[in-house]
Amino acid sequence: MEEPILITGAGIVSAIGLNKQEALESLLLRRSGIGPVRYLQTAHTEFPVGEVKLSNSEIRSILGIADTAPTIRTALLGMLALKEALADANMAEQEMSEAAFISGTTVGGMDKSERYYLDFLATDNYNAYIATHDCGASSELIADHFGRFGFVATPSTACSSAANAIIVGANMIRSGMADIVVAGGSECLTRFHLNGFNSLMILDREPCRPFDAARAGLNLGEGAAYVVLERASSAMKRRVKPLARLDGYGNACDAFHQTASSPDGDGAYIAMQEALTDAGLAPQEIHYINAHGTGTPNNDASESRAMQRLFGGQVPPVSSTKSFTGHTTSASGAIETVICILALQHQFLPVNLHWRHPIEGGIVPVTDSRPSREIRHVLCNSFGFGGNDSSLVLSKYDER
């Protein structure tokens, strides 16, 4: 029998809080973190965003990083989240050096590259930031702040990056490559980011309304989250109390379009079906779905169709927590995984904010946080551009 994969630690930083406790309070109080632009230097202030409520200088101060040390916001956010996850799992330095660190991102160090690009061409004053541009650099900066991991990698599959980091980590454990893997992702807001989604005409000028008939697009967000994945025997040996189990996962690519999802949600359907099969669960055993739910006309219709195909007339409670955090793109799969863990631990349904009008033929999301039955198994969806779709099955941990 395959050894279970346990989640023994989790850390999160997002627009709704700088740690798990703050995020939980925001979810229970229905307190969204989406609002006017405050920290990002952009002319497009008409678009609300889900920013982490700290400047780079404030994060540096918290982490003890000198203002002169070259670093990027993606790494700073990741360090905050990773600090909580490692402490939560009671990871010692020796254990960390034998563990793997898998961190997904797409923007990487673009915040500094777009700021200093003209200086790169004209002077040598900011050349140190050239080396922080690529996605892998952010993972190395995060890892190096805490010492040294035994292995570091950086999946970059757009908005499914962090979910795929968790899948890579789980596969490493299943294959015997590692006993402990810290996995997730980090992403900061940039002008490149905001302008790119604006060019696709999928940003909403109001707070986003996933699965609403009047939805008009997404709100971008930023943040980071990591989970400590651990072989059950390793957790028992370290005497650490698990938070949840990772029971299954699936990844599929329907390659329908560079940015759009297929009308029938083929990739989403296959990813969810694979995750359920991997977990050994029937559709009716899923008690909550944290949907990708971006609030765009295309995604919400496609994802609705995929869930209806898989669950028939018995779609479990569904919500998109992007109405709280904004769409944190590459970090979203990890941020929403931690939200799912909180839902399992505290037995509540994260509500879908701002929903008013049902989509014709679509799903009706959760507006009441009280579950009608015990939440034991949840499905967490993350879908990336190009049709790279991933789903995770997270389960409540039982002491027995």
Catalytic residue among 133, 193, 287, 292: 292
Q: Is 354 a catalytic residue?
A: no
Distance CA 222, CA 332 (A): 9
The pair phi, psi for residue 325, each rounded to 5°, is -100, -15
Q: How many CA atoms lie within 13 A of 194 on its CB side?
A: 25
Q: Which residues pair with 14 in a beta bridge?
A: 17
∠ at Cα 10 (7, 13), nearest 5°?
155
Q: Is 159 a catalytic residue?
A: yes
Distance CA 98, CA 10 (A): 18
Q: Which of 66, 48, 63 is nearest to 18 (CA)?
A: 63
Element spanning 162, H or E = helix 161-174
Distances (CA, A) of 210 to 38, 233, 263, 301, 303: 24, 40, 17, 10, 11
Q: Which residues pair with 182 in a beta bridge?
A: 101, 228
Catalytic residue among 133, 287, 327, 354: 327
Catalytic residue among 135, 159, 188, 380: 159
Distance from first CA to last CA of the chain, Å, rounded?
17
Distance CA 375, CA 338 (A): 15
Q: How far is CA 379 from the centre of its chain?
A: 13
Distance CA 121, CA 315 (A): 55
147 sits in the region (left: phi over 0; alpha: psi -120 to 50; else beta) called: left
Q: Is 380 a catalytic residue?
A: no
- CA gyration radius, the chain: 20
Q: Which of 229, 119, 120 is nearest to 172 (CA)?
A: 229
Instruction: Return the active site residues.
Output: 159, 292, 327
